[in-house]
Structures are given as structure tokens and as C-alpha cells.
Amino acid sequence: MAPILTLSDLKSYFSSVASDLGCSFEFGNSERILNRQLSNLVYPVLWLEVPDIRMLRDGTLHRQFQAAFLCLSDVPADDFDGQDEALDAMYTLTEQVLQRMQADSESQPVPFIFDIAGARSEYKGMWSADDDWGWRTEFDLVGAACDNADCCA
């Protein structure tokens, strides 16, 4: 597994996870995604939001990605049984993403640092025109150490 050093690496990693779990992948802030609503998204979708990035020094520099992803399905607003099923299915998908991140963080050489215990998921119900239902999960992921001591090269 390739180390996660940059935003592009993080995006590629989540795209790969989505593909492996059988869902589509989207990246971007909420405006970008909401502009693609109304049948332009393929559900279920794993959507990685644009993270905040800060630098950490531990001998060398690391990038800490403070990020969030959403696992969403679309169910009509009047289909209460469907909404309940979608919430269960999307939470299962959320747990699969988190479990994959934990397992991958333990591979050698270490591609990134992640602790599943720090993740926090919150319910997201019908918040767009597509009748999206699912879960938003915040997490911290510390990228692998940069080869260059200052990560600027």
C-alpha cells in the first residue's frame, strides 16, 4: 500500500476503498456535491469532504488530515421503511470504511496513522434534493512521514 503524503493520495485511497466496497466515490465540498444532485450521483456513494490539513513535527514533518466522509443512499421522503433500511445499510458501510482504514493503517510499512476510536459518526437525513440518507463520519488521519524533512520538496 502506498503511503498517504498528500491530499491527492488521500483522495486516491478513498476512491480505492469505495471501489472495493462496491459504491461510487465523490470528492469535494458540499456545494460541489449538491450541484451534482438530482440523479447525477450513483448511490450508494462514499463522499470524502475536503479536509483541513495541518503540519505535525515528530522528528520529521507529517500532514494531519482532519476530515470527514459520508456514506449516503437516496430514499423517497415518504418511504419510512426504506429510510430505516438505508440508515442501517449506510452505517454498515460506514463501519466497513472505518475497519478498512484501521486495518490498512496497521500494514507495513505504515502508510498512515489512524485510530478508529477517534472517529465520530452522525446521522444525516434527507438533507438534499436527492433525498439522501446516511451518516457523516469525522476522523483524523496522520500521513506517513515525508522523505524530505520539511515536506516541501
Whether the Cβ atoms of residue 35 and residue 92 lie closer than 8 Å to each other: no
pLDDT tens-place string over residues 75-116: 887 888 988 899 999 999 999 999 999 999 999 988 999 999
Q: What is the pLDDT of residues 37-52, one digit of tens each?
A: 555 788 999 999 999 9
* CA 127/CA 18 separation, integer angstroms: 22
What would the 3-class secondary structure string for 2-19 be? Answer: CCCCCHHHHHHHHHHHHH
For the question of whether the overall pTM of this predicted structure is more than 0.85, the answer is yes
- Confidence check: pLDDT of 36 > 70: no
Which three cell numbers, joined as nine digits, stand for 91? 452505517
pLDDT at position 39, please?
Answer: 59
* Total residue length of the chain: 153
For each of the domains in the chain, give its residue range(s) and CATH number, in order of start. Answer: 7-143 (3.30.2000)
Q: What is the pLDDT of residues 131-153, one digit of tens each?
A: 788 999 999 999 977 666 555 44
